[in-house]
Structure 1
Amino acid sequence: MSKNNLVIYIISDSIGETAEQVARAGISQFSLEEYEIRRFPYITDRQQIMEMLEEAKQEQAVIVFTMVVESLKNILIEEADKNNIPWIDIMTPVIDSMSKVLHNSPRREPGLIRRLDERYFRKVEAIEFAVKYDDGKDPRGLKKADLVLIGISRTSKTPLSMYLAHKNVKVANVPLVPEVPPPKELYNVPSKKIIGLTTNPMKLIEIRQERLKALGLKHEANYASMDRILEELDFAEEIMKKLGCPVIDVSSKAVEESASIILEIFREIGYKIGNGK
């Protein structure tokens, strides 16, 4: 191997992406005419390590590795030293330092960062879903949802949708208004996937009056009148009975409490929603 021709073996008990990124960052600091990176992911036994080291020795390669399984890491270091193969251990200094600070032992399980990334992207997907199918914007989302919330205005449909989205649950919500028939797609959703939201009329008057105040409108508007609220609640109750869905009263509950009740309802009926909650 000439000084301008470098071969790097990336070895990992996971996919090796972290080690490759670090190796490339290091290489960028040198003016190399050519170099080659070879990645060997999912290394799980001694035989695989020995075969790679034999090849690395012949090619005068440098080994960069991320091995969190202690036994495999020790084999790799011991055998590389015996064969005078230069090696760089990416993970051990980081894990050891964190272990000292946290006063805790690492789990030593390969691939955990991938699982964290997957949960993160599922959460982002659920949040985007909640925004897209909020307030009945597109009824086509009802059949794709893990959960559908229905209720009249100011029954926490949107806050609950967003809160549950952060738990990887895809939620669509539909407002119930006497003058507007519910979308036909709602009646094709299994009742076990629907939660009805109701509230105390007196509490709702207060909430709606505050809403009108924030908008600079008069408190006497029909939106905040008792007759109108009772009409809407009766209409919603009729729809919920027709759908045969569970109903919860959100009038004196925080969003977190309502969400907990919803998730508990689904656990009790054995319907699983949201991957990786």
Structure 2
Amino acid sequence: MIASSRYATYFHVHLVSDSTGETLNAMARAVCARFENVLPIEHYYALVRSPRQLERALADIEDAPGVVMHTIVDDTLRTALEEGCRRLDMPCIAALDPLVSALSRYLGAALTRRVGAQHALDTDYFNRMDALNYAIGHDDGQGGAELDQADVVLVGVSRTSKTPTCIYLAHRGIRAANFPLVPGRPVPEALTRLSSALVVGLTISPDRLI
């Protein structure tokens, strides 16, 4: 029994945001840190502002059952996400709702429906947004023509967390792209022509992959 307590419990947590996702990311990490030997496998869905984007997120959520946390403002998208999670029998947590409701009652003030209202429009903010747009546009081998603009390029087989890592880096203003490594398929020629980007290979153990 003593030896078994050393093993960590892994679980999937899906973070769905209609903005950069920084607030949700910080909240999820703060909560998970309260539990010993519990390690979240984080999946990021930033800038989710259309039904099509939400459908893609729900498809990924279905593939990796776990906990869904969100900061979606739009009522239609919120309802679609909650109904999708209900259909998949997964908990769906509106992370900011308890705080917003309490402050609304205390202040007697109306809520803003503006997405990303907490972000100041400074240079760092625009850099992060640009990095996020770049990461989304260069996910899974897309956007090869602009690959030389990347700060970091991640390569690895499927399920080595290339996309979540790119989104994480983008939150810090780092332009990151990723390429999948597929058995029997040669490495893309665009990778061999890079001169300034840092190319990083991601690996995963067979046990973790299973």
> Alpha carbons of 1:33 and 1:78: their partners in 2 closer, same or farther (altered >3 Å)?
closer
Question: What percent identity do the matched residue pairs reach?
Answer: 22
Counterpart-to-counterpart distance in 2, 1:70 and 1:4: 34
User: Quick check: 1:103 aligned with 2:124?
Assistant: no
Q: CA deviation at 1:69?
A: 2.0
> Alpha carbons of 1:103 and 1:35: their partners in 2 closer, same or farther (altered >3 Å)?
closer
What residue number does 1:79 align with? 84
**1:226-237 map, 5 Å:** none
> Alpha carbons of 1:91 and 1:34: their partners in 2 closer, same or farther (altered >3 Å)?
closer
What residue number does 1:255 align with? none
Q: CA deviation at 1:89?
A: 0.9
Tell me which stretches of 4 or more aligned residues in structure 1 moved more than 2 Å: 31-35
What residue number does 1:135 align with? none
Give CA-to-partner distance per residue, 1:59-93, whole Å, 9 cap, x none: 11211111122222122112211211212111222
Give CA-to-partner distance per residue, 1:129-177, whole Å, 9 cap, x none: xxxxxxxxxxxxxxxxxxxxxxxxxxxxxxxxxxxxxxxxxxxxxxxxx
Counterpart-to-counterpart distance in 1, 2:81 and 2:49: 11
Give the number of aligned pairs.
118
User: Quick check: 1:53 aligned with 2:55?
Assistant: no
Give CA-to-partner distance per residue, 1:172-220, whole Å, 9 cap, x none: xxxxxxxxxxxxxxxxxxxxxxxxxxxxxxxxxxxxxxxxxxxxxxxxx
The residue type equivalent to 1:18 in the other structure is T
> Alpha carbons of 1:89 and 1:23: their partners in 2 closer, same or farther (altered >3 Å)?
same
Query: Aligned to 1:112, what secondary structure does the other structure show?
Result: coil
User: Quick check: 1:9 aligned with 2:14?
Assistant: yes
Counterpart-to-counterpart distance in 2, 1:100 and 1:75: 26
Between Structure 1 and Structure 2, the one with more helix by share is 1
Counterpart-to-counterpart distance in 2, 1:89 and 1:31: 24
Query: Is contact 1:10-1:39 (8 Å) kept?
Result: yes
Unaligned runs of 5+ in 1: 122-277
User: Quick check: 1:69 aligned with 2:74?
Assistant: yes
Query: Is contact 1:13-1:42 (8 Å) kept?
Result: yes
Q: CA deviation at 1:40?
A: 1.0
**1:69-218 map, 5 Å:** 69-115=74-120, 118=122
Q: CA deviation at 1:47?
A: 1.9
Structure scoring higher RCO (CA < 8 A, sep ≥ 6) equals 2
Counterpart-to-counterpart distance in 1, 2:42 and 2:115: 21
Give CA-to-partner distance per residue, 1:211-234, whole Å, 9 cap, x none: xxxxxxxxxxxxxxxxxxxxxxxx
The residue type equivalent to 1:48 in the other structure is Q
The residue type equivalent to 1:112 in the other structure is A
**TM superposition score normalised by structure 2:** 0.50
What RMSD, in angstroms, separates the aligned Cα atoms of the two structures? 2.4
Query: Is contact 2:13-2:69 (8 Å) kept?
Result: yes
The residue type equivalent to 1:87 in the other structure is C
Query: Is contact 2:65-2:90 (8 Å) kept?
Result: yes
Query: Is contact 2:8-2:39 (8 Å) kept?
Result: no
> Alpha carbons of 1:114 and 1:3: their partners in 2 closer, same or farther (altered >3 Å)?
same
Q: CA deviation at 1:110?
A: 0.9
Query: Is contact 1:57-1:85 (8 Å) kept?
Result: no
What residue number does 2:33 align with? 28
Counterpart-to-counterpart distance in 2, 1:37 and 1:92: 21
The residue type equivalent to 2:65 in the other structure is Q
Larger Rg: 1
Q: CA deviation at 1:32?
A: 3.0
The residue type equivalent to 1:4 in the other structure is T
The residue type equivalent to 1:79 in the other structure is G
